[in-house]
Amino acid sequence: MADVVVRSHTIYANLRQDGAGIGRSTLYDSLDPTEKGATSYFLGMAMAKLFAAELFGTPWLFHVSQATSGGAGIVFNRGSKSQPDLIGQSLSGDWIVVEAKGRTNGLDGKALEKAKRQTEMIRTINGSLPTLRVALQAYFEDRLRVRIDDPTDAKPEALEVELDLNAALAKYYAVATAITARDPTIERVRDREFMTRVDNDSGVTIGLQSSVWESVKAGKFQDIRENSDRLDERMTGADGSANIYPDGLLVRLDARWSPQFMSREPELRDG
């Protein structure tokens, strides 16, 4: 649960509700440049996860370091850092490549161009051409904004990479299964059974659909992919407090995350 607490604290402390959008908190603005860099990077990765699931039907994203090329670890462009962050598999089984950037201030055009080039460094994944390459940048103008570009071509030096999907899915679900394995609450949300656990310090409840939990624990990852048509939409719980995602995860936030509180600066929020 510690990982969830740290990540949720990053969101809670550094962002605030700004009308219909999201703005920086005064705490964010007071960070030193190194801290701002780490926070903006985290926001870029978080936006990549959200946008991949919502816009591109790709709930499963994996860090590219989990992939191999020719049975060995990947080395891009003779050891340079010109490589994408993430590869993902969609609900239909297609592959995408994603590079995420984050900036504290306005859109950084040079960084976005670099992100586009980084997505072009993978030619195929498990023998298949990516159906989409995504260069994404999260940045702030008056509010948090996200820019997405979709380069189409691979570079001549691009690599053909392989991903052990079972191992990647085991790692993907590791946090959720570890959290819900310890004294979980069994509950039904929108006619689906979930194993959930609440962290009272952060006000965040994490849940995993029981059928997915059982498949993960049994190592039957093929079952998750074969049943993905049953996990093909994001839903909101009947009371509006829980979101259910296509990968079988549930997230519920308590009242301290409501627009009423999140519109205030962190030090003025109660609860």
Q: pLDDT of 180-225, one tens digit each?
A: 888 899 999 888 899 999 999 899 999 999 999 999 999 898 888 7
Burial (Cβ within 10 Å: 0-12, 13-18, ≥19) of residue 34: exposed
Q: How far apart are CA 190 and CA 157, in angstroms?
A: 48
Q: Is 139 helix (H, G, I), strand (E, B) or coil?
A: strand
Q: How far apart are CA 213 and CA 174, in angstroms?
A: 10
When pLDDT is cut at 50, 70 and 90, the band that residue 72 belongs to is: low
Is residue 135 within 8 Å of residue 151, measured between CB atoms? yes
Average pLDDT over residues 100-117: 96
Please give the model's pTM, rounded to 2 decimal places.
0.89
When pLDDT is cut at 50, 70 and 90, the band that residue 228 belongs to is: low
Cβ neighbors of 163 (< 8 A, separation 6 or more) are 62, 66, 67, 68, 87, 125, 126
For the chain, how long is the longest CA-to-CA vector? 55
Is residue 120 within 8 Å of residue 158, measured between CB atoms? yes
Query: What was the pLDDT predicted at 77?
Result: 58
Query: For 202, how many CA atoms within 13 A lie in the half-sphere containing its CB?
Result: 22
Average pLDDT over residues 108-122: 95
Is a pLDDT exceeding 60 seen at residue 262? yes
Query: What was the pLDDT predicted at 232?
Result: 56
Is a pLDDT exceeding 90 seen at residue 4? no
